[in-house]
Amino acid sequence: METKIRLLRQEKGITQQELAESVGVTRQTINALENARYNPSLLLAYKITKVLGKNAIEEVFVFNEDD
């Protein structure tokens, strides 16, 4: 699954580590999400969306039918 996490995180000026701590995962998990190597749970996707200041999960995560 593609994400806009890296772009939105950089716009907010926060590191992978800071985002990870805010949502209760490791920095490696954030890295895997940014590189489309991991699909988050709905709860994690929601938490990341809120921390990045967005209202809809679709503003952060790009859902492909093939995923």
Total structural domains within the chain:
1
Global pTM reads: 0.91
pLDDT digits (tens, 9 = 90+) for 21-39: 999 999 999 999 999 999 9
% residues pLDDT > 90 (the chain): 91
Is the predicted pLDDT of residue 63 greater than 90, yes or no?
no
% residues pLDDT > 70 (the chain): 96
**Cα 23–Cα 44–Cα 62 angle in degrees, nearest 5:** 120
Residue 23 lies in a domain: yes
CATH at 6: 1.10.260.40
Q: Is 52 exposed, middle or buried (0-12, 13-18, 19+ CB in 10 A)?
A: buried
Domain span at 7: 2-62
